[in-house]
């Protein structure tokens, strides 16, 4: 086996990743202030910042969906059970014993089977819950051209509770995600890869020689 620097994460992918993380963290900060956990910007500014940042996140999500579809990167999230149990066992026990990672990362397969399931759930369940509940709460008193309240006759409490629950789950995902980045070849190798785009992966010598002959 030989190690080679491979461009795993494309430029937009890295921009999307860091921008999304920054927006979610800022939403969490302003959200906690709106709930009265602390005072930083002041309630009115916190609400304004929270709303504007949520629109920025929606725009980023729209661009990310377009990018995933047009580049075919959506295939990275197709779930599979192949080596799923091995991957769970590795995270629970194997990595603490110095065992080899059961699934090698490649240019065409960046995510292991457990990551595929978790990230798919993040995209099609968790994010929609937070977004939809947030929009319903934000626009529950939308006024139409006749100055009549369009949406107002429903209980906001369960919507607010759902939004808060989704936000806590989102924050928990972020914390776990940061921890899991330290489980690479070195504690900072995965973070470095998401900054530079390049990651050192192992390849068979025969594959290397074959590529050299082709080129």
Angle between helices 11-34 and 189-196 (to 10 degrees): 110
- What is the predicted pLDDT for the residue at 208? 45
- The SS3 of residue 157 is helix
pLDDT bucket at 150, cuts 50 / 70 / 90:
low
The confidence band for 143, taking pLDDT boundaries of 50, 70 and 90, is low
SS3 95: helix
Predicted confidence band of residue 107 (pLDDT cuts 50, 70, 90): confident
173-206 pLDDT tens trace: 999 999 999 888 888 989 999 999 998 877 655 4
Q: How confident is the model at residue 210 (pLDDT cuts 50, 70, 90)?
A: very low
For the chain, the farthest-separated pair of C-alpha atoms sits apart, in whole angstroms, at 72
DSSP-derived letter for residue 3 is: E
Dist CA 110 CA 27 (whole Å) = 28
Cβ–Cβ < 8 Å for 130, 167: yes
pLDDT at 157: 86
* Residues 190 and 200: beta-carbon distance below 8 Å: no
| pLDDT at residue 141 tops 70 | no
The vertex-189 CA angle with 188 and 193, nearest 5°, equals: 120
pLDDT of residue 72: 94
Instruction: Compute the distance between CA of residue 151 and CA of residue 140 in angstroms, rounded to an integer.
Output: 5
Report the alpha-carbon distance of residue 8 to residue 191 in Å, rounded: 12
Which pTM was predicted?
A: 0.84
Distance, CA of 151 to chain centre:
31
Average pLDDT over the chain reads: 87
Residue 78: Cβ within 10 Å count: 9
Residue 214 has pLDDT above 60, yes or no: no
Q: Please report the pLDDT score of residue 212 as a whole number.
A: 46
Cα 22–Cα 80–Cα 119 angle in degrees, nearest 5:
10
**What SS3 class is residue 83?**
coil
Is the distance from CB of 9 to CB of 197 less than 8 angstroms? yes
């Amino acid at each position: 086996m030989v190690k080679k620097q491979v461009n795993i994460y494309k430029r937009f992918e890295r921009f999307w990743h860091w921008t999304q993380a920054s927006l979610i963290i800022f939403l969490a900060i302003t959200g906690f202030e709106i709930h009265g956990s602390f005072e930083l910007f002041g309630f009115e500014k916190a609400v304004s910042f929270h709303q504007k940042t949520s629109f920025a996140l929606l725009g980023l999500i729209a661009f990310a969906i377009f990018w995933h579809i047009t580049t075919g990167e959506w295939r990275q999230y197709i779930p599979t059970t192949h080596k799923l149990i091995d991957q769970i066992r590795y995270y629970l026990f194997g990595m603490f014993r110095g065992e080899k990672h059961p699934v090698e990362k490649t240019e065409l397969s960046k995510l292991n089977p457990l990551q595929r399931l978790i990230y798919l759930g993040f995209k099609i369940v968790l994010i929609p819950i937070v977004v939809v509940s947030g929009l319903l709460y934000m626009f529950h008193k939308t006024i139409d051209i006749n100055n009549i309240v369009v949406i107002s006759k429903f209980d906001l409490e369960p919507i607010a509770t759902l939004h808060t629950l989704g936000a806590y789950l989102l924050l928990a995902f972020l914390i776990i995600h940061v921890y899991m980045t330290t489980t690479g070849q070195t504690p900072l190798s995965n973070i470095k890869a998401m900054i530079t785009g390049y990651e050192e992966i192992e390849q068979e010598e025969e594959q290397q020689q074959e590529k050299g002959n082709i080129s």
